[in-house]
Structure 1
Amino acid sequence: MLIHKRSDFPKGFVFGAATSAYQIEGHKHGGAGRAMWDDFAATPGNVIRAEDGATACDHYHHYPADLDLLKEGGFDAYRFSTSWARVMPDGRTVNPEGLDFYDRLTDAMLERGLKPCATLYHWELPSALADRGGWRNRDIAGWFGDFTEIIMGRIGDRMHSVATINEFWCVAFLSHFLGHHAPGLRDIRATARAMHHVLLAHGTSIERMRGMGLGNLGAVFNMEWAMPADDSPEAVEAAALYDDYYNRFYISGAFKGTYPARVVEALGQHFPDRWQDDFGTISAPLDWAGVNYYTRSILAPNDGPWPHHHSVEGPLPKTQMGWEVYPKGLRDFLVRTAAEYTGDVPLWVTENGMANADTMTDGVVQDEARIDYFNAHLGAVRDAIAKGVPVKGYMAWSLLDNYEWALGYEKRFGMVHVDFDTLARTPKASWHAFREMLGA
Structure 2
Amino acid sequence: MTGRPRTASVLPALVLLLAAALAAPAAAAGPAGRFPAGFLWGVASSDFQSGGSFPDSNWTRYAARGAPDVKEPYGNSVDFRHRYPSDIALARGLGVEVFRTSVEWARVEPRRGHRDPAALAYYDDVVRRIEAAGMRPMLTLDHWVYPGWVAGRGAWDDPRTAADWLANARFLVDRYKGRGVIWITFNEASQYLYHEFRDRPMSAAQLLTMRDALIRTHRAAYDMIHKVDPGALVSSNVAYGTALNGLFDAALFNQATDKLDFVGVDYYYGANLENLTAANSLTGEYWKIDPEPEGLYYVLRSYQRRLPKLPLYVVENGMPTDDGKPRADGYTRADHLRDHLYWVQRAIADGVKVIGYNYWSLTDNYEWGSYRPRFGLYTVNVRTDPALVRRPTDAVAAYRSIIAARGVPSGYVPKRRPGWCSIEDPVATCLGTTPTPPAAYAPAG
1:47, distance to aligned residue in structure 2 (A): 5.1
Paired residues, number: 365
Gap change, CA 1:320 and 1:210, over 3 Å in 2: closer
The alignment partner of 1:56 has SS state of: coil
* Cα distance change on mapping 1:76 and 1:87 into 2, 3 Å: same
Secondary structure at 1:389 match in 2: coil
3-state SS of the aligned residue for 2:229?
Answer: coil
| Inter-partner Cα distance in structure 2 for 1:248 and 1:292 | 15
Contact 1:88 1:95 (C-alpha < 8 Å) held by counterparts: yes
In 2, are the aligned partners of 1:57 and 1:402 still within 8 Å (CA)? yes
* 1:18 Cα deviation after fit: 0.3
Q: Is the 8 A contact 2:323 2:371 kept in 1?
A: no
* Alpha-carbon distance in structure 1 between the residues aligned to 2:67 and 2:325: 29
Separation of aligned partners in 1, 2:394 and 2:33 = 21
Identity level (%):
28
- Whether 1:202 aligns to 2:202 is no
Q: Equivalent residue for 2:246?
A: 244
Secondary structure of the structure 2 residue equivalent to 1:328:
helix
Counterparts in 2 of 1:196 and 1:112: CA distance versus 1, 3 Å: same
Counterpart residue identity of residue 333, structure 2 = R
How far does residue 403 in structure 1 lie from its aligned partner after superposition? 0.7
**d(CA) in 2 for partners of 1:119 and 1:431?**
24
Give 1:307's aligned residue: none
| Structure 1 residue corresponding to 2:318, chosen from 353, 366, 372 | 353
Query: Given the alignment, which residue of 264, 269, 291 partners 1:290?
Result: 264
Structure 1: how far apart are the matches of 2:31 and 2:367? 30
Q: Deviations over 1:285-310 (max 9, x none)?
A: 332221001113689xxxxxxxxxx9
Stretches of structure 2 that go unaligned for 5 or more consecutive residues are 1-28, 406-445
Report the Cα distance in structure 1 between the residues aligned to 2:31 and 2:400, rounded to whole angstroms: 11
Report the secondary structure of 1:158's partner residue.
coil
8 Å CA contact 1:293–1:351 kept in 2: the answer is: yes
Cα distance change on mapping 1:321 and 1:91 into 2, 3 Å: farther
Residue in 1 that maps onto 2:309: 344
2-structure distance, mates of 1:100, 1:6:
46
Residue type of the alignment partner of 1:385: I
RMSD (Å) for aligned C-alpha atoms: 2.8
Deviation of the 1:155 alpha carbon: 1.9
1:389 is displaced (CA, Å) by: 1.5
Structure showing greater Rg: 2
The structure, 1 or 2, with the larger RCO (C-alpha pairs under 8 Å, 6+ apart) is 2
Match of 2:85 among 48, 57, 64: 64
Please give the TM-score of this superposition, normalised by the length of structure 1. 0.76
Return the TM-score normalized by structure 2: 0.76
Output one character per residue of 1:169-194: Cα deviation in whole Å (capped at 9) or x when no partner: 01113421xx1xx42x1521111111
1:222 aligns with 2:243: no
Structure 1 letter corresponding to 2:53? H
Q: How far apart are residue 322 of structure 1 and its match? A: 2.9
Unaligned 5+ residue runs, structure 1?
227-241, 256-282, 300-309, 362-366
CA contact (8 A) 1:142 1:204 kept: no
**TM superposition shift of 1:70:** 0.7
Q: 2: distance between equivalents of 1:124 and 1:313?
A: 27
Cα offsets for 1:61-112 (capped at 9, x unmatched): 1111001111111111111111110111135421121111111011101111
Q: Which residue of 1 aligns with 2:395?
A: 430
CA 1:404 to 1:17, structure 2 compared with 1: closer, same or farther past 3 Å?
A: same
Cα drift, residue 349 of structure 1: 0.1
Is residue 51–residue 78 contact of structure 2 (8 Å, CA) maintained in 1? yes
Counterpart AA for 2:352? V
Change over 3 Å in CA distance of 1:436–1:311 after alignment to 2? closer
1:51 maps to what in 2?
73
